[in-house]
Amino acid sequence: MKAVQRFSDEYLEQCSAMSTEQIVQFLDDFRIIHGASSSKEKPTSKLISIKVPEDLLRAFRTKSVLHDVPYQTQIKRLMLNWLKGA
């Protein structure tokens, strides 16, 4: 027997109010979260450059070292958790 997903009226109303850009962003985020986790191939990475206050980066890197986690790995975890809504 297949499970049936039911949506509340409030949820459907929110969805109907989404712009085209929001829908595309949602679908792209969904693909990133679910596509990468179910794929057997390692997803490709893209080199980016962002400006971060030095004291924030220093504190983040220090905490990452204390928890024995590479700081870039922790940044990626935070990004993924945010996309998943955690």
Overall domain count for the chain: 2
Greater confidence (52 vs 22) lies with: 52
Greater confidence (26 vs 36) lies with: 26
- Note whether 34 and 69 are same-domain residues: no
Would 1 be classed as within a structural domain?
no
The span from the CA of 54 to the CA of 60, in Å, is 10
- Note whether 51 and 84 are same-domain residues: yes
Provide the residue range defining the domain that includes 21.
7-38
Greater confidence (4 vs 77) lies with: 77
41-69: per-residue pLDDT in tens? 666 788 999 999 999 999 999 999 999 99
- Note whether 28 and 51 are same-domain residues: no
Question: What is residue 64's predicted lDDT score, i.e. its pLDDT?
Answer: 93
Question: What is residue 81's predicted lDDT score, i.e. its pLDDT?
Answer: 85
Would 82 be classed as within a structural domain?
yes
> What is the distance in angstroms between the CA of the first residue and the CA of the last residue of the chain?
30
- Note whether 34 and 51 are same-domain residues: no
